[in-house]
């Protein structure tokens, strides 16, 4: 018999089996974990590969853009990837979410996109070292340039000289995706307040509530019916990014925007390049154009004839003599017991009136103070005028008040007349010779040394020196022949009858801006003669202006009297020459025979270059976008309340003409050349038959700075799939895909320099989840901006 216990050997077996079971479980678990991690690693690797392939797709898309556009504006709406021809993108991808980031409200963009999307092909990507196929890429590029930057356009500014994109008006009449009314969203409470002013509500919400729209989807969601109801889905006219490089000002130098910043030395150099103008004259005009007083001054603060301020200006002086000749007929003895009738004498009476006229032919500025017009020094006569009939010439001094209500009628047909001196006198002429001698004494030139206008403070605001009536010539040529005939008739009893006649001599300023030299016949025009129609008060200027049939006289004299200048185009208002009255220069090509447009070549209204964002591409293919630039644009002056603005129909017409010219001639590199290839006739057609050059010039001057020819933007729908080429045919087919990534990108590109930047990057799956979770677009950008 042995000593072994049967139960102990059974327990050992059980323990061994237990350890074996545990070991088996551990082996199986380890194997499963290893496989899971291997699969996870493979999935991560596939995802990383597809993510990296997205950048390859972006690179290829950018190469396509460079090849298609170069330094020109892209002549395409959309481009799709060209690949192996085996499979197309829409066969394996869903673009529904991506398309919410496109302006599918634009029929042209939508049609082009859909055509290219349906034809876009997958392109296989191979490993550079082994040549093995590792995935495939595809993309669709949509040219979203030439649209309105929703983050920059529109604002509270009145449409003026077009120096800020905030002046671009948004209107439901032009933009199919902009509502005619909406709601303001309170930035603190989110409460909605109805508003009939859609533009004001949109700008308020953007600047106070939403701050910025990062993508087109953002723009739609934050303006949907629950958040303002201002942008209609789908978007057609807007993008969310634009940019201008600092170099996009064509080398122009800042001219200054007020007196403190005015670059006078540089402006003077530019003026000296224009042979037809006098730099000193123009610089004084510029200073007084900007300063807020109404006293013409030079740079030292002294009175200047070479300047214009909105004050009544000496325009005309006239002497009118109303003569009455009354023969005294007596009966005398004829020596034969009868009587004869004779003219014993003729009573000559003269009611003379010395009048002066002032004119306030300015628009846009009303000077409300009273002024005093003075004949300062006694007039001097070259001969010896008979004071009994013609008065004492040296007494013809006067101070005449120009009432505030009459100082600025704002109409060239309503000058203001003042009587300086009037008197009625009478003398008797005993015979024909004495009558002739009486009037021969009137053959004496009369000079007025100083005629002056002062304002309410006593400051001199206008003056004329040495103004002289050429009475000697006028009386000899016009009046004396009549007096000789009258003398014969009046002292002949058969023909002697009471006779009245009127003689007028006048001197009228051809252009009241150029009135300081009374001896200059370029500045003053004389007229004289017999009859009642000789008083030329107001007629000379009307005649001169009437000969310039294309000029609007009310636009010829303009002052701002505010410390601001907006644009080099404003030089139109004071670019004139002292020897060319009323020939204010136009900067329009057809009227610029002296190359005054040279002032535009090198002067910029921007201290730091044009606005960096918000300007519109002049190559835009979207007529409604270009029309928005012209909408409500003033078409008469820059400043003040414009009398005429472009309505929607006019804006469409102007935009169509503008786009036609840009397509035909391109975009000029500087403002000076912007009218070279456009005929005035064509421009008149685009401006409803307008002939006034100041109005025609507004087509350029009030719109040009709102265009940026180099700003382009592209939306790229990129896709990438990683996989394994199991059948080794050199392609990645749908059944060989391991991972897929899609992204939406906005790429900005400067047309001239080729510089570019990704301004929005969103992965489709991430966008879907964050949209559902309510994350902000700022968070998306922070997470996925490369």
pLDDT greater than 70 at residue 768: no
How far is residue 283's CA from residue 255's CA, in Å, rounded to a whole number?
13
- The stretch 553-557 carries a mean pLDDT of 47
pLDDT greater than 50 at residue 128: yes
- Confidence tier at 641 by pLDDT (50, 70, 90): low
The pLDDT value given to residue 277: 82
The pLDDT value given to residue 444: 93
CB atoms within 10 A of CB 225: 12
Q: Are 615 and 710 in contact (CB under 8 A)?
A: no
211-220, 544-553, 706-715: least confident range:
544-553
The pLDDT value given to residue 198: 92
Between β-strands 182-185 and 78-80, what pairing exists: parallel, antiparallel or unpaired?
unpaired
pLDDT greater than 90 at residue 578: no
| DSSP H/E element including 319 | strand 313-333
The pLDDT value given to residue 773: 37
DSSP secondary structure, 115-126, as one string: HHHHH-B-EEEE
Q: For residue range 155-210, what is the model confidence (pLDDT) as tens digits?
A: 866 888 899 999 999 999 999 999 999 999 998 888 999 999 999 999 999 999 98
3-state DSSP assignment of residue 146: coil
- Confidence tier at 9 by pLDDT (50, 70, 90): low
Under 8 Å CB-to-CB from 603, ≥6 apart: which residues?
A: 252, 253, 255, 266, 267, 270, 568
- Confidence tier at 479 by pLDDT (50, 70, 90): very high
Under 8 Å CB-to-CB from 461, ≥6 apart: which residues?
A: 294, 295, 296, 309, 311, 371, 453, 454, 455
> What percentage of the chain's residues is helix, strand, coil (to nearest 5)?
35, 25, 45
Under 8 Å CB-to-CB from 671, ≥6 apart: which residues?
A: 568, 569, 597, 600, 601, 700, 704
pLDDT greater than 90 at residue 659: yes
Angle between helices 648-665 and 623-630 (to 10 degrees): 120
How far is residue 348's CA from residue 361's CA, in Å, rounded to a whole number?
40
How far is residue 712's CA from residue 616's CA, in Å, rounded to a whole number?
10
CB atoms within 10 A of CB 22: 10
Q: List the structure tokens of 225.
A: 């019916």
Question: Looking at per-residue confidence, does 7 or 518 come out higher?
Answer: 518
CB atoms within 10 A of CB 331: 10
- The stretch 583-604 carries a mean pLDDT of 80
265-269, 304-308, 583-587: least confident range:
583-587
Distances (CA, A) of 422 to 316, 318, 356: 17, 12, 12
The pLDDT value given to residue 581: 61
pLDDT greater than 60 at residue 536: no
pLDDT greater than 60 at residue 538: no
| Residue where the block lists tokens 């493979």 | 42
- The stretch 410-430 carries a mean pLDDT of 83
How far is residue 357's CA from residue 379's CA, in Å, rounded to a whole number?
18
Question: Looking at per-residue confidence, does 202 or 17 come out higher?
Answer: 202
The pLDDT value given to residue 543: 52
Bridge partners of residue 208, in order along the sequence: none
Give the angle subtended at the CA of 307 by the CAs of 452 and 538, to the nearest 5°. Answer: 60
User: Per mean pLDDT, which of 219-228, 243-252, 538-547, 754-763 is the most reliable?
Assistant: 219-228
The pLDDT value given to residue 472: 93
Question: Looking at per-residue confidence, does 305 or 617 come out higher?
Answer: 617
User: What are φ and ψ of residue 217, in 5° steps?
Assistant: -60, -40
Q: Are 522 and 579 in contact (CB under 8 A)?
A: yes
How far is residue 752's CA from residue 249's CA, in Å, rounded to a whole number?
12
User: What are φ and ψ of residue 559, in 5° steps?
Assistant: -130, 150
- Confidence tier at 639 by pLDDT (50, 70, 90): low
The pLDDT value given to residue 542: 52
CB atoms within 10 A of CB 727: 10
User: Per mean pLDDT, which of 281-295, 340-354, 393-407 is the most reliable?
Assistant: 340-354
pLDDT greater than 50 at residue 554: no
How far is residue 637's CA from residue 363's CA, in Å, rounded to a whole number?
10
pLDDT greater than 50 at residue 720: yes
- The conformation of residue 398, written as its DSSP 8-state character, comes to E
Bridge partners of residue 399, in order along the sequence: 374
Q: List the structure tokens of 220.
A: 């739609």
DSSP secondary structure, 454-495, as one string: E-TTS-EEEEEEEEEE-HHHHIIIIIHHHHHHHHHHHTSTTT
450-464, 525-539, 645-659: least confident range:
525-539
Q: Are 650 and 741 in contact (CB under 8 A)?
A: no
209-218, 486-495, 673-682: least confident range:
673-682
pLDDT greater than 80 at residue 766: no
- The stretch 476-491 carries a mean pLDDT of 94
- The conformation of residue 670, written as its DSSP 8-state character, comes to S
pLDDT greater than 60 at residue 43: no
How far is residue 362's CA from residue 341's CA, in Å, rounded to a whole number?
62
Bridge partners of residue 424, in order along the sequence: 351
Q: Are 529 and 559 in contact (CB under 8 A)?
A: no
- The stretch 513-525 carries a mean pLDDT of 84
Residues in the chain: 786
- Confidence tier at 292 by pLDDT (50, 70, 90): confident
pLDDT greater than 80 at residue 767: no
Torsion of CA 646, 647, 652, 655, to 10 degrees: 20
Give the angle subtended at the CA of 109 by the CAs of 108 and 110, to the nearest 5°. Answer: 95
The pLDDT value given to residue 35: 58
End-to-end CA distance of the chain: 87
Percent of the chain at pLDDT > 90 equals 41
17-21, 173-177, 301-305, 383-387: least confident range:
17-21
How far is residue 685's CA from residue 708's CA, in Å, rounded to a whole number?
25
Burial of 656 (0-12, 13-18, 19+ CB in 10 A): middle
Question: Looking at per-residue confidence, does 376 or 414 come out higher?
Answer: 376
Q: What is the mean pLDDT of the chain?
A: 83
The pLDDT value given to residue 414: 64
The pLDDT value given to residue 388: 94
3-state DSSP assignment of residue 604: strand
- Confidence tier at 786 by pLDDT (50, 70, 90): very low
């Amino acid at each position: 018999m042995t000593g072994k216990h049967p139960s102990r050997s059974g327990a050992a077996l059980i323990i061994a089996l237990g350890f074996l079971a545990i070991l088996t479980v551990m082996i199986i678990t380890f194997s499963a974990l290893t496989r899971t991690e291997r699969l996870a690693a493979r999935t991560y690797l596939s995802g990383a590969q597809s993510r990296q392939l997205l950048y390859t797709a972006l690179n290829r898309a950018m190469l396509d853009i460079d090849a298609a556009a170069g330094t020109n504006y892209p002549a395409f709406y959309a481009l799709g990837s060209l690949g192996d021809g085996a499979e197309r993108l829409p066969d394996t991808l869903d673009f529904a979410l991506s398309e919410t980031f496109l302006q599918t409200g634009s029929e042209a963009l939508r049609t082009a996109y859909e055509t290219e999307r349906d034809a876009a092909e997958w392109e296989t990507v191979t490993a550079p070292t082994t040549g093995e196929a590792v995935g495939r890429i595809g993309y669709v590029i949509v040219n979203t340039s030439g649209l309105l930057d929703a983050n920059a356009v529109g604002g509270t500014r009145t449409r003026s000289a077009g120096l800020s994109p905030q002046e671009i008006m948004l209107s439901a009449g032009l933009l199919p995706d902009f509502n005619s009314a909406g709601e303001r969203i309170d930035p603190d409470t989110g409460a909605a307040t109805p508003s009939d002013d859609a533009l004001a509500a949109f700008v308020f919400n953007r600047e106070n509530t939403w701050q910025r729209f990062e993508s087109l989807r953002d723009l739609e969601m934050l303006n949907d019916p629950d958040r303002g109801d201002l942008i209609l889905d789908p978007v057609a006219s807007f993008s969310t990014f634009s940019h201008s490089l600092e170099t996009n000002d064509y080398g122009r130098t800042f001219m200054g925007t007020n007196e403190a910043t005015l670059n006078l030395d540089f402006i003077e150099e530019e003026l000296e390049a224009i042979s037809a103008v006098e730099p000193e004259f123009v610089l004084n005009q510029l200073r007084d154009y900007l300063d807020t007083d109404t006293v013409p001054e030079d740079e030292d603060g002294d009175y200047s004839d070479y300047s214009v301020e909105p004050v009544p200006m000496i325009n005309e002086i006239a002497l009118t003599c109303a003569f009455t000749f009354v023969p005294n007929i007596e009966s005398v003895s004829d020596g034969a017991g009868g009587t004869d009738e004779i003219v014993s004498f003729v009573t000559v009476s003269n009611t003379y009136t010395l009048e002066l006229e002032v004119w306030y032919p300015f628009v846009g500025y009303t000077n409300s103070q009273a002024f005093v017009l003075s004949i300062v020094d006694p007039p001097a006569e070259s001969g010896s005028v008979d004071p009994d009939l013609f008065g004492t010439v040296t007494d013809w001094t006067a101070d005449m008040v120009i009432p505030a209500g009459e100082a600025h009628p704002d109409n060239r047909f309503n000058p203001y007349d003042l009587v300086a001196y009037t008197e009625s006198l009478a003398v008797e002429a005993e015979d024909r010779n004495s009558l002739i001698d009486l009037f021969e004494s009137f053959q004496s030139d009369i000079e007025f040394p100083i005629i002056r206008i002062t304002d309410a403070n006593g400051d001199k605001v206008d003056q004329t020196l040495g103004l002289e009536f050429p009475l000697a010539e006028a009386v000899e040529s016009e009046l004396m022949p009549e007096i000789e005939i009258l003398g014969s008739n009046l002292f002949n009893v058969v023909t002697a009858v009471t006779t009245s006649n009127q003689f007028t001599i006048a001197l009228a300023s051809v252009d009241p801006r150029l009135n300081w030299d009374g001896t200059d016949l370029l500045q003053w025009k004389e007229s004289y003669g017999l009859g009642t129609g000789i008083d030329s008060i107001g007629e000379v200027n009307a005649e001169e202006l009437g000969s310039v049939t294309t000029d609007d006289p009310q636009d010829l004299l303009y002052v701002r009297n505010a410390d601001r200048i907006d644009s080099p185009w404003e030089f139109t208002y004071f670019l004139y020459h002292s020897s060319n009255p009323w020939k204010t220069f136009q900067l329009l090509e057809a009227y610029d025979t002296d190359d005054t447009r040279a002032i535009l070549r090198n002067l910029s209204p921007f201290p730091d270059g044009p606005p960096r964002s918000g300007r519109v591409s002049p190559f835009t293919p979207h007529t409604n976008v270009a029309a928005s630039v012209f909408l409500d644009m003033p078409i008469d002056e820059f400043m003040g309340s414009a009398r005429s603005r472009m309505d929607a129909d006019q804006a469409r017409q102007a935009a169509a003409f503008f786009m036609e010219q840009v397509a035909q001639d391109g975009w000029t590199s500087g403002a000076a050349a912007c009218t070279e290839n456009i005929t005035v006739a064509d421009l008149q057609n685009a401006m409803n038959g307008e002939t006034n050059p100041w109005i025609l010039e507004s087509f350029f001057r009030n719109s040009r700075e709102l265009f940026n020819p180099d700003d382009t933007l592209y939306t790229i729908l990129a896709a990438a799939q990683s996989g394994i080429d199991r059948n080794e045919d050199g392609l990645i087919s749908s059944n060989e895909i391991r991972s897929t990534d899609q992204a939406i990108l906005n790429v900005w590109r400067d047309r001239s320099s080729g510089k570019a930047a990704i301004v929005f990057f969103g992965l489709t799956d991430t966008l879907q989840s964050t949209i559902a979770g309510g994350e902000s677009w700022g968070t998306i950008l922070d997470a996925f901006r490369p």
